[in-house]
Structure formats: structure tokens, C-alpha cells
A and B are shown apart, each in its own frame.
Chain A
Amino acid sequence: MIKFSKEQLKIPKLMRPVYLVTAGESEFRRAFPEKRTEELCVDALTMAAELIDMSPAELKSYIHTCYYGHFADHFGDQLLGESVIHDRLGLDPLGNVGVKTGGATGGSTLWEAVKTVASGYSDCALALGWERMDEVPTDEGNHLISCAADKDWETPLGHIYTGYYAVMAQRYWKIFGKSEDSFRRTMAEIAVKNHGYACHNPFAQSPMKITVEDVLKSPVVAYPLRALDACLMSVGSACCIVADEKTAFKMCKKPLLVHIAAGSHTLRPADRRDMAIPLLPNESKNQYKDLTKKFPGSERYPGFSGFLAARMAAYYAYRMAGVVDPTTDLDLVELHDAFTISDIQTYEDIGIRPYGEGRDYVESGDCYLTNPHTGKPGKLPANLSGGLIGCMHAVGATGLMQVCEVALHLWNKHKEIHGDPKRWKSFGKTKPKDWKDLQVKGAKRGLAISHAGVGSHVTCTILEDPNHQLKKQRRAK
């Protein structure tokens, strides 16, 4: 049994509030044969400048430290790729550093930038991420990704990361999903939803109008996971610019408060040891008393079915932001839907539903912009960008894209950014005739989960309209 000390469970505290000033993203595609990485990074930074009516040069003049998220050096075959981008963005002589935490790289990059502003070292910092996953064919790409597993104990086993990851899905599927057809269909529903939402996002790589049956008929990758259950492999860039209060309000009209925390867990799932479930603010001490009665085989926590890193990131971040119940306190979320099933696992890790009941978030219709059962707004829309399944997974950029997309809702700019026919055209696309504005009306708070592979790193970012702070509201009551 593994235990945590009081010191380790301390709720993180920023020395001063940090605000998201602006954010940007490039288009995302499986490959950009005619673009260098820096061209995509410039696109993202330029969009961030335009969002606050600045020129890129003006925006750059505020930046004091730079964090670059780029996971896989060996994909781009360039060590210190961060320095190349830093130079091409013309940000010398500022201090800069690369951040690498697998699939959570984007979130971790923002985590670093926020802390540097909170500490007072910088008043404004850049978090910019990208990934270049098109410079090797798929088989070689799978090998390179498998190098993020333990090279002696895992990589030689098939050189395929899916194998190390999907065993966890299998366990969840058998114990909590009870191998039910209905559960399988719920998983498929997530893919239908996320590919569907991607149709309204000009940046997205994989807009698709599909049905549950299409997902169930797609080729098996690793049973019960099928091709359409899986996230994309993408190329692209995204960025966030954060600042202290004074600087933020000088730079833009509506900066958003950022609360962010991180968690980790063993790189090899094999090393996981048992522990008591760390409880979130909306869970009670006896909450999981009969979990094993309801779900035989769920004795181990987190075992192979939960993500401790996600639980801990939420454990810290909810208390930093004053979130008690994510479903009522938040207006939208962007989750790391690497696979449909891991999306469900995450609902439980971050307390949208209790352990064992994740599927209900989808089945109730709460995860939709418009609840398909009631026709009313969904309680907590998820992955309106399309997520990793419909929009992109350009690893180092993913966590930043999520934060950018959440922020656009809080800024009430979904339509302006996603609905502009010129933007669609600039990406060589035509704005669909049935394009819909997915703006979450009156959104005040949103969350993004950035997650690495088998759950080795997870960050939880909460954005909040400073005029509607949960902590202040609770204090006033």
C-alpha cells in the first residue's frame, strides 16, 4: 500500500494570480509535406496576437520567458528543436526551455509558464507547443512512440504503444464495462460525437459524420478498441500567453484566471502499487465502500483501470480553484480522449462521475452541447473542438489547443474564430453549409486535461472568468 505525506498533499498555491491573455493554434493535419514546423508555430502565435488586436511584434514585446512543448525529438530528428523555433520566432535573447512529458507535454508547458509568472520572475510568458509526426511512416512512428515506454521492459514487446496502453482499457472494459454491448456502444458514441463536433472546427483534422455502427464496423486495433475509437496522429502547433494581473489587463480586455496543477504515476503500469483512493471535494469518505461488490475485480486502486495522475491533478486543481462539483461548477471541458474508453476512465478520475459510473456522463447526454434526450443544453459539454479523436493529437500542442478552445468559449469567440469563411478558405477548406456555432452560452469556467500515455503525467487546467470566481462566490455566501 502506497501512502502520501501531508506535505505531498499540500494544495498548490500561486504567489500571485496568473491570467491567460490570449491563445492561438495552427491548422492540424496528418502531414504538411510543404511546411516547416516554424511556419505552423508562426501561424499559432500570429492568431494569438490577432485575437487581442496586436501585431505579432507587439505581442512579443511583452513576453519575458518562453516554454516550448515538443515531445519527440526523434520524430523531427532535431535535438534542441525548441531553440530552432525560439530563434525563428525572433524571441532572442529571452530565456527559454523545452518541456517533455509525453502526451501531457502541452499541459505541462503551460504549467511551467504559469509558475514563472506566479513567482514574479516574469510578468508575461509564452507557452508554445508543436509536434511533427509526419517525418516517418506509420510503422516507424509506432516504434518511436513505443520508445516512450520502458526501453528494456516494454519497447521490445512489439514496439507498439497501443499494446501497453490497451491492456488497461481491457481491464476497465471487463470489470467496469462488464463487456456489455451497451457499454461498447457508449464508447462508440464518444467517437461519433467528437468527429461530429470537429465538422464545425476549421482547425480540425478529422471532421466526420459517422454513426455508432460505423465505429463498431471499423477495423479492430486491439479488441475491444477499433480504429475509430482512437485519437489522431497530427502535425500542428498551439500556444498560450499568460501574464500577471496588471500586465494581463494592459494587454487585453478579458484575461482569464488560470488554475493549474499536475500529477504523475509510474511510466510502466507494471510498477503500480495499491493505495487508498484520494478523494475529490465531491466525494465522501464511504463513497467507495461497495465498489468491489458492484464491480468485482475492482479491488486494486488505481490498478490498471484508473489514472492516479489524473486524479491527483484534479485533486490539486479543484481545490486551487474552489471547484467542488465539476459538473455544476464548470461550463465545458476538453478531455484527453486518446481512446474512447480512456475518455470514460477520465470522467471518473476527475470526478465528473464516481468510479464505476463514467459511462453515465455520455448516456445521460450531459457531455453534449445539446442533450440529445432532452433537447436542452448539456450540463457539461465535452470536447466541442473535436478533441484528440476529431480535432488533433499533435502531442506537444494538444494540451495548449485544448486550453485555447476552452478560452474561446469563455471569451464568447467561438463563432468569430470557427465560423469565419476566410479562415476555412485559408486552410483550403470550404465552410460547411450546415456549420453550427457550438458556443457554450454564458460560459464562465472551463477545464482541460492533458494526459500522457499510460498515465505517467497529467495536468489539469481550469480557466475562470475573473468576474465570476468560485472562491469569491463561496466566500460571499
Chain B
Amino acid sequence: MAKEASVKIVRERYKVNGEFSVITPNRPIFNEAKKLCGITNPRTMTYIHSYGGEAPFFEGISKGILRGTRCDNPKCESKGSIYLPFRIFCPDCLKKMKIVDLTKTAQKTAKIHTFMVCERSGAFNTLDKPIKFINIEFDGVCTILMSYLSAGEPEIGMRVAPIFRTKNPTYTITDLSWVPVGTPKSKLPKGFSF
């Protein structure tokens, strides 16, 4: 087995290690009359991606903290608006926003705005199926967060509580999930905690 691709940052540069591209030979495609029509192009590749100014959000959910941002620019007509999804800059005045901890707000007020139970997934999916997509509204937050429900059946208006993959986090948005308020700790998926 080739060594899995990994990246470190040394003196503000990426230092890569392991295999970033896996070479697999291509194969011909013939039609029923055995005439050549095309070829396969296999490609396994690992990308390097920066979270930049959103990194505090993804680090937060790996530690059980839900972070959003707030525009504190006194000159902004949307001053005081709180955003989740976390945005680095205010969409109106483009000033850098203040990071705020919304964990308690979410625990106390999160409610399902809408949802969808999806039987299908695409390649590379890591979530259990069916996926229960939920969109969550919070008191005092002007946007509606997209996430997924890990226990129970979703309903519009249902109160939900955030849970976090704090054990072996993936550092992706999948580390944040939700359960109906009142779900016992024993019913949480592996690796997740309140």
C-alpha cells in the first residue's frame, strides 16, 4: 500500500508527504460490433485546500464549539447581524466580522426550518443513508444553517440540539450534526458528544 497523502506547513509553505496521485492504466471501450469507441481515464488525486479565515469555525466544531460571526461596524446598516454559516466579512460593508460563540444560542433556540430525507448520495459520501438534511434557524441569527439530523425523524419547527464529532474529528462540516432536543447521550452516533 502506498503511503497516504498528508501535508504540513513549514515556514508558510506546504510540505507534502505520501502519494497524491495514484496511477491506474486506462482501458479501451468497444461497442457491440467490437469497434473502438473510447477509453477510460482513471484518476485518483488528493487536493490541498485552505480554510483560511473560516478555519476557526471548523476547528470549533471539532472541539464542541459552534462559531458564527457578527458585524460590529457602527456605520453598517446591518450592524449587529449574526451570520451562521460563518462569514469572514460582512456581506454589506465588507468589514471583517467578530467571531461569536453560538453554542448556547443553538442549544436553546435551534429549530428545523425545513428538511429533506434523501435516499441517494453521490460518490465519496461518508454519511449514513438515508441522509436527513435539515436547515436550522436560530433566534437572533439572520441566516439558516444547512446540516444533518443524526437521530429521530425531522419535522418543520422541531427543536434540535447540536452535537459534535470531538473524537477523531474529520475537520469537515460533517463534524457538526443535530439531534432532537431531549435525545439521551447514549443515542448519539459514535464519536459525537453534546
Binding site for B on A (CB under 8 A): 3, 33-34, 77, 139-146, 150-154, 156-164, 166-171, 174, 219-223, 268-274, 297, 304
Q: Given A158-B125, A163-B116, A170-B116, A34–B37 Cβ distance below 8 Å? A: yes
Q: Given A153-B146, A221-B120, A160–B131 Cβ distance below 8 Å? A: yes
Give which listed residue, B58, B83, B91, B122, contacts A160 with CB less than 8 A: B122
Give which listed residue, A151, A156, A170, A220, contacts B174 with CB less than 8 A: A156
Q: Do B135 and A142 touch across chains, with their CB atoms under 8 A apart?
A: no
Q: How far is the CB of A167 from chain B (nearest CB, A)?
A: 5
CA of A400 to CA of B144, assembled, Å:
34
Complex interface bits, B162-182 against A, C-beta within 8 A gives 1, otherwise 0: 000000000011100000000
CA of A145 to CA of B31, assembled, Å:
28
Q: Do B127 and A158 touch across chains, with their CB atoms under 8 A apart?
A: yes
Provide 24 A-B residue pairs closer than 8 Å at the C-beta atoms, listed in order of the A residue.
A33-B29, A139-B123, A142-B122, A152-B54, A152-B58, A152-B173, A157-B147, A158-B125, A158-B131, A166-B118, A167-B133, A167-B134, A167-B146, A174-B156, A221-B119, A222-B117, A222-B118, A222-B120, A269-B144, A271-B85, A271-B143, A297-B156, A304-B113, A304-B114
CA of A222 to CA of B118, assembled, Å:
5
Binding site for A on B (CB under 8 A): 29, 31, 37-38, 41, 49, 51, 54, 58, 77, 81, 83, 85, 87, 91, 113-127, 131, 133-135, 142-148, 156, 172-174
Q: Do A159 and B124 touch across chains, with their CB atoms under 8 A apart?
A: yes
Q: What B residues does A34 contact at CB under 8 A?
A: 31, 37
CA of A77 to CA of B174, assembled, Å:
28
Q: Do A223 and B117 touch across chains, with their CB atoms under 8 A apart?
A: yes
Q: Do A269 and B146 touch across chains, with their CB atoms under 8 A apart?
A: yes
- Most chain B CB within a 10 A radius of its CB, from A33, A139, A170: A170
Apart from A162-B116, A163-B116, A270-B145, 14 more pairs, CB < 8 Å: A139-B122, A140-B122, A142-B121, A143-B124, A146-B122, A151-B49, A158-B148, A160-B125, A161-B122, A166-B116, A167-B135, A171-B114, A222-B116, A274-B142
Q: Do A167 and B115 touch across chains, with their CB atoms under 8 A apart?
A: yes
Q: What B residues does A160 contact at CB under 8 A?
A: 118, 120-122, 125, 131
Q: Given A34-B31, A168-B114, A273–B143 Cβ distance below 8 Å? A: yes
Q: Given A142-B122, A167-B116, A157–B31 Cβ distance below 8 Å? A: no
Q: Do A142 and B120 touch across chains, with their CB atoms under 8 A apart?
A: yes
Determine the residue in chain A with the shortest Cβ distance to B38: A33
Q: What B residues does A304 contact at CB under 8 A?
A: 113-114, 135, 144
Q: What B residues does A162 contact at CB under 8 A?
A: 116, 118, 120
CA of A139 to CA of B120, assembled, Å:
9
CA of A77 to CA of B31, assembled, Å:
22
Q: What B residues does A158 contact at CB under 8 A?
A: 118, 121-122, 125, 127, 131, 133, 148
Q: Given A159-B122, A167-B115, A268-B85, A152–B51 Cβ distance below 8 Å? A: yes
Q: How far is the CB of A442 from chain B (nearest CB, A)?
A: 43
- Most chain A CB within a 10 A radius of its CB, from B85, B113, B116, B121: B116
Q: How far is the CB of B107 from chain A (nearest CB, A)?
A: 19
Q: Do B41 and A142 touch across chains, with their CB atoms under 8 A apart?
A: no
Determine the residue in chain A with the shortest Cβ distance to B132: A163
Q: What A residues does B125 contact at CB under 8 A?
A: 143, 158-160
CA of A150 to CA of B49, assembled, Å:
13
Q: How far is the CB of B41 from chain A (nearest CB, A)?
A: 6
Q: What B residues does A140 contact at CB under 8 A?
A: 122-123
Q: What B residues does A170 contact at CB under 8 A?
A: 114-116, 156
Q: How far is the CB of A161 from chain B (nearest CB, A)?
A: 8
Q: What A residues does B123 contact at CB under 8 A?
A: 139-140, 142-143, 159
Determine the residue in chain B with the shortest Cβ distance to A174: B156
Determine the residue in chain A with the shortest Cβ distance to B58: A152
Give which listed residue, A153, A156, A157, contacts B85 with CB less than 8 A: A153
Q: How far is the CB of A123 from chain B (nearest CB, A)?
A: 40
Give which listed residue, A143, A156, A164, A269, contacts B173 with CB less than 8 A: A156
Q: Do B127 and A157 touch across chains, with their CB atoms under 8 A apart?
A: yes
CA of A222 to CA of B172, assembled, Å:
24
CA of A154 to CA of B125, assembled, Å:
12
CA of A269 to CA of B135, assembled, Å:
9
Q: What B residues does A269 contact at CB under 8 A?
A: 135, 144, 146
Q: What A residues does B81 contact at CB under 8 A?
A: 273
Q: What B residues does A163 contact at CB under 8 A?
A: 116, 118, 131, 133
Q: Given A153-B173, A223-B117, A270–B124 Cβ distance below 8 Å? A: no
CA of A268 to CA of B143, assembled, Å:
10
CA of A160 to CA of B146, assembled, Å:
13
Q: What A residues does B38 contact at CB under 8 A?
A: 33
Q: Do A157 and B133 touch across chains, with their CB atoms under 8 A apart?
A: yes
Nearest 9 interchain pairs by C-beta:
A142-B122, A159-B122, A171-B114, A143-B122, A143-B123, A166-B116, A139-B123, A163-B118, A163-B133
Give which listed residue, B41, B49, B85, B122, contacts A145 with CB less than 8 A: B122
Determine the residue in chain B with the shortest Cβ distance to A171: B114
- Most chain A CB within a 10 A radius of its CB, from B51, B115, B123, B131: B123
CA of A168 to CA of B113, assembled, Å:
10
